[in-house]
């Protein structure tokens, strides 16, 4: 490998927003109390990844190459890598560095959430092997000397020993103070339910060894622990399901939600989940409406829309749904769309399966449009990459487990039966919470990163970054992992891009509407195809060099919400949401920073609905607003749904799939999906137009979240408020001195609410004073 040029300096974070996002999500504090700079991040992340090289001779050149591209921000490892990457990476478990995962069991899902992965799960009836009605009765106990013990709410360990004893029908487990211990408690309970013979027994879970609330967690940059109470509450909530008359798939959804809540309460991480169910399941109709607000039950579509509109006019939130920790989607396929296309009066129209398919589509489109949530979504599972090579390695049930977590011998029976059930499915691939990665329903991972070709000086330099990140991600798959057999079988990676619109303008002079004219912008699209081929070529060569299987999937487009904000870029495949805007951040009214901000000239408002809260406005202009694109710049609200679907289809053709010499999609694809949230305006698109749009376009792509663009003008607090360029410039001039800016968690949230990046919830008063 030729020695790369060292990028001796580093790219500055985007002023204001980028620095604030970095401080809340990426940067670490140095020993002197100051923040890392981007050069420090590049150094430690490149070091950690390069140390994964099996050949020591390769470590230095790979370090130099990675450091060059991360420093220049032509390569952005995902937030997980930017947070946790350092010289200790080879000794850590892979789960810390995975964005995406799937699980077929609740305890595994919980363990992956605790490690920060977003997790997808298939709730098809044939995969529901646990009936929680057969679970032993759980009792949660805590030592009375534990700092979090509450006499009014908790049972002491001493009292429990006296009450329950240690007979054959009483099982005891003392929960260790780590992620593995928390998940192990749920594993024991779940497998006991699966075995069906413990229904009348008692499982006593002792939480006394779990560190108290507020104590630092070393593995999460010393963020404060939640203490045992949220986990105890999750078990106690889950106990209410036994005997409640719920079907196994619905039980599983509640179990997973309760433990996802526990992860969310336990720290700054969002518990990101995706739930899917196949359209042929008889229970799919219950799944479609499982999150629906009870206020909407029994109401017609027009009545539901009226309820929501009335709430908006009053400035109130509409009725909120349930099981909010997951994005729900129905798995569909070519057969489904064929049945939908059968015309009334023609052969097959009244066949039971055709009627079932039409009912599924009707309920999905009415729930998505009427409830105003975009859920459930649609996933064309037949379009996802699915390869069965070496599946027999999974059938024994020992396909899960790592140096840090080993499952119980008895649990292997459950795992083996799940593997055999999954193998019998026609389509055994679903997606991660954000929808950009195809993964085995049984369980799997993907590690992801972005290239920023906009930051490259030449197309050759951009290609070098694509090749470098391909090697980096393959190395991550060499780490010890809970799904090591599946990782070794598939070696999945996700090489993506962000800042795509800036790149198109810088190198080709194209705006959005130029790009969706395929012939006009053919040079742009063929450049993406070139990058696709570079990723494939590098993955094949490097996998052969390391003696591992070639990745089953390679290209993707992830949401890239957090990492893009670091440099003010358009996010993933998305259009810019706004050109210039005020980023409103909430502060307590007694925060001394408020006076400093207002004195410096920042706009401020007192809120009435949010008592004792003041919001400070930070004028923000993303990078694309500075490129002088004129009318070539199109924001998300200005593009029609049809234009956005065209944009998606072209992205799948040239980047995800790639084309051959005849410009036809390659027959063998190694692509994942594009994570994209398509926004439409309900004031302009009625229900019929919405349904017809789904039928016409959703069938042609792999996956896409379709959501209404909500008019937030009636709400008192808007995280972001669009302003004109003139207003932006006027406000910027009025600010006499630049101060350290801040963000709220709402500013790094993706539209689909699924990003698993950790967010540092530190008191805003800890912000350093004035930054030049």
Q: Per mean pLDDT, which of 168-172, 262-266, 491-495 is the most reliable?
A: 491-495
Residues 228 and 177 sit within 8 Å (Cβ to Cβ): no
| Distance from C-alpha of 677 to C-alpha of 708, rounded to nearest angstrom | 10
Q: How many CA atoms lie within 13 A of 611 on its CB side?
A: 0
Residues 194 and 114 sit within 8 Å (Cβ to Cβ): no
What tens digit of pLDDT does each residue of 270-314 get? Answer: 568 999 999 999 999 999 999 999 999 999 999 999 999 998 888
What tens digit of pLDDT does each residue of 369-391 get? Answer: 999 999 999 999 999 999 988 88
Residue 638 has pLDDT above 60, yes or no: yes
* Fold that domain 100-271+387-423 belongs to in CATH: 3.30.1620
Residue 762 has pLDDT above 80, yes or no: no
pLDDT at site 257: 96
| Distance from C-alpha of 280 to C-alpha of 339, rounded to nearest angstrom | 12
Q: Could you say which DSSP state residue 698 is in?
A: G
Ordered by start, the domain boundaries in the chain are: 100-271+387-423, 581-620+716-766
- For 270-287, letters b (16+ CB in 10 Å) and e give bbbbbbbbbbbbebbeeb
374 contacts: CB under 8 Å, gap ≥ 6? 368, 677, 705, 706, 707, 708
229 contacts: CB under 8 Å, gap ≥ 6? 148, 213
What tens digit of pLDDT does each residue of 642-688 get? Answer: 999 999 999 999 999 999 989 998 888 899 999 999 989 999 999 99
Cβ-based neighbour number of residue 93 at 10 Å: 19
What tens digit of pLDDT does each residue of 472-490 get? Answer: 999 999 999 999 999 999 9
pLDDT at site 368: 95
- For 413-424, letters b (16+ CB in 10 Å) and e give ebbbbbbebbee
Residues 6 and 72 sit within 8 Å (Cβ to Cβ): no
pLDDT at site 755: 47
Can you read off the two tokens belonging to residue 600?
């410096």
pLDDT at site 593: 81
- Bigger pLDDT: 516 or 750? 516
Residue 737 has pLDDT above 80, yes or no: no
| Distance from C-alpha of 253 to C-alpha of 740, rounded to nearest angstrom | 42
Most distant CA atoms of the chain, gap in Å: 80
State what percent of residues in the chain have pLDDT above 90.
72
- The lowest-confidence range among 110-114, 326-330, 619-623 is 619-623
- Bigger pLDDT: 109 or 753? 109
Q: Please report which confidence band the pLDDT of residue 18 belongs to, taking 50, 70 and 90 as the band edges.
A: confident
Q: Could you say which DSSP state residue 453 is in?
A: G
Mean of the pLDDT values across residues 711-722? 71
Question: Strands, DSSP E only, in 390-499?
Answer: 429-431, 438-440, 443-451, 493-497
Among the listed residues 99, 94, 430, 115, the one whose alpha carbon sits nearest the alpha carbon of residue 107: 115
State what percent of residues in the chain have pLDDT above 70.
91
Cβ-based neighbour number of residue 316 at 10 Å: 12
The model scores a pTM over 0.85: yes
**Cis amide leading into 376 (omega within 30):** yes
Average pLDDT of the chain is: 90
Can you read off the two tokens belonging to residue 14?
């985007």
Q: Please report which confidence band the pLDDT of residue 104 belongs to, taking 50, 70 and 90 as the band edges.
A: very high
Mean of the pLDDT values across residues 711-737? 79
| Distance from C-alpha of 350 to C-alpha of 355, rounded to nearest angstrom | 6
- Bigger pLDDT: 757 or 218? 218
* CA-based torsion, 475, 480, 482, 486: positive or negative: positive
Q: Please report which confidence band the pLDDT of residue 268 belongs to, taking 50, 70 and 90 as the band edges.
A: very low
Residues 195 and 211 sit within 8 Å (Cβ to Cβ): no
What tens digit of pLDDT does each residue of 42-75 get? Answer: 999 999 999 999 999 999 999 999 999 999 999 9
Stretch (H or E) spanning 712: none
User: Where do we find the tokens 């990723």?
Assistant: 535
| Distance from C-alpha of 515 to C-alpha of 194, rounded to nearest angstrom | 53
| Distance from C-alpha of 524 to C-alpha of 504, rounded to nearest angstrom | 7
Among left, alpha and beta (phi > 0; psi -120 to 50; other), residue 612 is left
What tens digit of pLDDT does each residue of 426-472 get? Answer: 999 999 988 999 999 999 998 999 999 999 999 999 999 999 999 99
Pairing of strands 170-174, 202-206: parallel
Q: Which CATH class is domain 581-620+716-766?
A: alpha beta
What tens digit of pLDDT does each residue of 127-175 get? Answer: 999 999 999 999 999 999 999 999 999 999 999 999 998 888 999 999 9
User: Where do we find the tokens 């799944």?
Assistant: 287
Among the listed residues 760, 758, 761, the one whose alpha carbon sits nearest the alpha carbon of residue 272: 758
pLDDT at site 771: 25
Mean of the pLDDT values across residues 180-187? 97
């Amino acid at each position: 490998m030729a020695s790369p040029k060292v990028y001796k300096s580093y790219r500055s974070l985007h002023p204001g927003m980028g620095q604030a996002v970095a401080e809340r999500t990426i940067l670490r504090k140095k020993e002197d109390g100051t923040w890392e700079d981007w050069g420090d991040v590049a150094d430690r992340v490149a070091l950690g990844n390069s140390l994964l090289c099996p050949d020591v001779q390769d470590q230095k050149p790979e370090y130099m190459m990675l450091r060059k591209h991360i420093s220049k921000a032509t390569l952005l490892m995902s937030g997980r890598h930017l947070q946790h990457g350092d010289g200790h990476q080879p000794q850590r478990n892979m789960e810390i560095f995975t964005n995406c995962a799937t699980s077929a069991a609740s305890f595994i899902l919980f363990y992956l959430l605790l490690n920060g992965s977003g997790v997808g799960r298939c709730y098809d009836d044939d995969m529901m092997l646990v009936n929680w009605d057969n679970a032993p009765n759980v009792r949660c106990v805590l030592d009375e000397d534990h700092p979090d013990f509450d006499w009014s709410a908790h049972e002491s360990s001493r009292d429990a020993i006296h009450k329950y004893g240690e007979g054959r029908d009483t099982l005891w487990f003392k929960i260790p103070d780590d992620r593995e211990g928390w998940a192990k408690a749920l594993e024991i309970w779940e497998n006991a339910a699966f075995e069906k013979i413990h229904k009348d027994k008692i499982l006593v879970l002792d939480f006394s060894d779990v560190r108290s609330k507020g104590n630092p967690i070393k593995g999460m940059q010393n963020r404060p622990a939640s203490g045992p109470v949220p986990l105890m509450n999750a078990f106690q909530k889950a106990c209410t399901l036994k005997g409640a008359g719920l079907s196994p798939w619905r039980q599983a959804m509640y179990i997973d939600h309760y433990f996802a809540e526990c992860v969310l309460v336990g720290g700054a991480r969002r518990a990101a989940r995706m739930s899917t169910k196949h359209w042929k399941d008889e229970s799919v109709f219950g799944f479609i409406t499982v999150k629906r607000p009870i206020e909407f039950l029994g109401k017609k579509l027009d009545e539901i829309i009226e309820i929501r509109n009335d709430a908006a006019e009053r400035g109130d939130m509409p009725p909120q749904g349930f099981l909010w920790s997951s994005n729900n989607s129905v798995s569909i396929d070519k057969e489904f769309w064929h049945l939908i296309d059968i015309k009334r009066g023609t052969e097959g129209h009244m066949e039971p399966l055709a009627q079932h398919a039409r009912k599924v589509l009707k309920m999905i489109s009415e729930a998505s449009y009427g409830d105003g949530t975009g859920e459930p979504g649609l996933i064309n599972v037949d379009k996802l990459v699915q390869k069965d090579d070496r599946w027999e390695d999974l059938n024994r049930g020992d396909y899960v487990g790592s140096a840090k977590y080993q499952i119980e011998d008895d649990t292997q029976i459950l795992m083996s039966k799940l593997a055999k059930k999954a193998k019998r499915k026609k389509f055994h691939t679903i997606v991660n919470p954000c929808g950009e990665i195809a993964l085995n329903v049984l369980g799997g991972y993907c590690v992801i990163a972005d290239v920023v070709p906009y930051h490259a000086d030449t197309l050759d330099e951009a290609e070098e970054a694509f090749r470098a990140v391909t090697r980096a991600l393959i190395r991550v798959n060499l780490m010890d992992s809970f799904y090591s057999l599946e990782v070794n079988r598939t070696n999945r990676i996700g090489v993506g891009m962000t800042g795509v619109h800036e790149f198109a303008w810088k190198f080709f002079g194209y705006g959005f509407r130029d790009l969706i004219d395929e012939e006009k912008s053919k040079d742009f699209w063929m450049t993406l195809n070139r990058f696709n081929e570079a990723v494939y070529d590098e993955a094949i060569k490097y996998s052969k060099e390391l003696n591992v299987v070639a990745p089953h999937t390679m290209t993707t487009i992830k949401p890239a919400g957090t990492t893009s904000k670091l440099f003010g870029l358009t996010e993933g495949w998305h259009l810019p949401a706004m050109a210039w805007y005020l980023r409103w951040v909430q502060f307590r009214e007694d925060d001394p920073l408020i006076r400093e901000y207002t004195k410096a000239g920042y706009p401020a408002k007192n809120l009435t609905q949010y008592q004792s809260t003041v919001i400070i406005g930070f004028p923000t202009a993303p990078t694309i607003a500075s490129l002088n694109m004129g009318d070539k710049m199109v924001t998300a609200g200005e593009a029609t749904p049809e234009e956005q679907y065209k944009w998606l289809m072209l992205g799948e053709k040239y980047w995800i799939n790639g084309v051959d010499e005849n410009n036809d999609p390659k027959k063998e694809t190694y692509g994942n999906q594009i994570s994209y949230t398509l926004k439409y305006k309900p004031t302009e698109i009625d229900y019929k137009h919405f349904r017809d749009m789904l039928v016409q376009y959703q069938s042609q792509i792999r996956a896409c979240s379709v959501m209404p663009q909500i008019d937030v003008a009636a709400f008192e607090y808007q995280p972001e408020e669009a302003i004109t360029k003139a207003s932006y410039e006027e406000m910027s001039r009025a600010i006499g001195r630049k101060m350290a800016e801040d963000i709220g968690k709402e500013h790094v949230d993706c539209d689909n609410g699924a990003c698993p990046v950790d967010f540092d919830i530190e008191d805003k008063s800890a912000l350093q004073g004035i930054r030049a």
